[in-house]
Amino acid sequence: MSNEPKLHPGRAGQDADRDRLFENAETATNDFRFDQKTAAVFDDMINRSVPFYDEMQRMTGEIAADFAVPGSNLFDLGCATGTSLVKLDPLIDSGVRFVGIDNSEEMLGKARQKLSACPSGRPFDLLVADLHQTQVVENASVVVMNLTLQFIRPLYRERVIRNVFDGLNDQGCLILIEKLTLGDSLFNRLFIRYYYDMKKRQGYSESEIANKREALENVLIPYRPEENRELLANAGFRHIEEFFRWYNFCGMIAVK
């Protein structure tokens, strides 16, 4: 038996919410979708598929608390089931308006359930919107994009980041967490292998990993670290820094 610690606690007791979407090879014949089936198991999926996800969330809250300004907005673009908003709620002044954006009504349904239980009583605005088509950010002191930009078609990414920049107030920040690819093929292969090894430690089988990889092939398109930095710089951000790195996952903060 391996003595390696798991990056996330097991959730074996929550079988109903456990991610088993890719146990069947037939699921890999269609592109990955954020539909009802995905929404039902998304929290387990993200915790078992993203290394140090809880720490990424903790760091996001720590940074956001320093930049959030009463009277402004905090946007979570690609808010999914609302995990980030729930974790940010007790850390951010009640005078900051929270806005969650997602293009999946099924994911937002889960988010509404979770946010309704927040003890603060803060109002949350949850909106269905396609970031490819809509400029939603305004009067923002904080914008969070956790594992979202990688799902935006590359043709639109420059426009999306520019819209974020335009909607941020001076000294506002964008918190961007992304999966990466690397220009160096040696390290790219190694880091992908380390990532799949992590997923196996979380209980995913080789066939599940392969099936999901195939389903995501044309949906999740990672950029190289320098490409993401260039996007941010070209949009006009003055301060850009990496705050988290685990092989092929990276967190960056950009300040207007």
Q: With a cut of 80, say whether residue 221 has pLDDT above it.
A: yes
Q: With a cut of 50, say whether residue 23 has pLDDT above it.
A: yes
Tell the residue number behind the tokens 């914008």, with chain if given.
143
* Cβ–Cβ < 8 Å for 173, 143: yes
What percentage of the chain reaches a pLDDT higher than 90? 77
List the beta bridge partners of residue 176: 145, 252
Q: Residues 58-70: what's their mean pLDDT?
A: 97
Considering only 27-31, 42-46, 69-73, which range has the smallest mean pLDDT? 27-31
Q: With a cut of 80, say whether residue 128 has pLDDT above it.
A: yes
One-letter amino acid for residue 28 of the chain: A
**Residue 128 backbone phi and psi in degrees, to 5:** -85, 120
How does residue 190 score in pLDDT terms, banded at 50, 70 and 90? very high
Domains of the chain from N-terminus onward: 53-180+221-255 (3.40.50.150)
Rounded to an integer, what distance in angstroms lies between the CA atom of residue 232 and that of residue 58? 23
Predicted local confidence at residue 25, as pLDDT: 66
More confident residue, 33 or 176: 176
Cα radius of gyration (the chain): 18
Torsion of CA 164, 150, 61, 66, to 10 degrees: -30
What percentage of the chain reaches a pLDDT higher than 70? 91
How does residue 27 score in pLDDT terms, banded at 50, 70 and 90? low
Predicted local confidence at residue 2, as pLDDT: 42
Query: What is the b/e burial string over 28-42, where b = at least 16 CB atoms within 10 angstroms of the residue's CB?
Result: beeebebeeebbbbb
Rounded to an integer, what distance in angstroms lies between the CA atom of residue 9 and that of residue 63? 25
Q: Residues 238-254: what's their mean pLDDT?
A: 98
How does residue 29 score in pLDDT terms, banded at 50, 70 and 90? low
One-letter amino acid for residue 253 of the chain: I
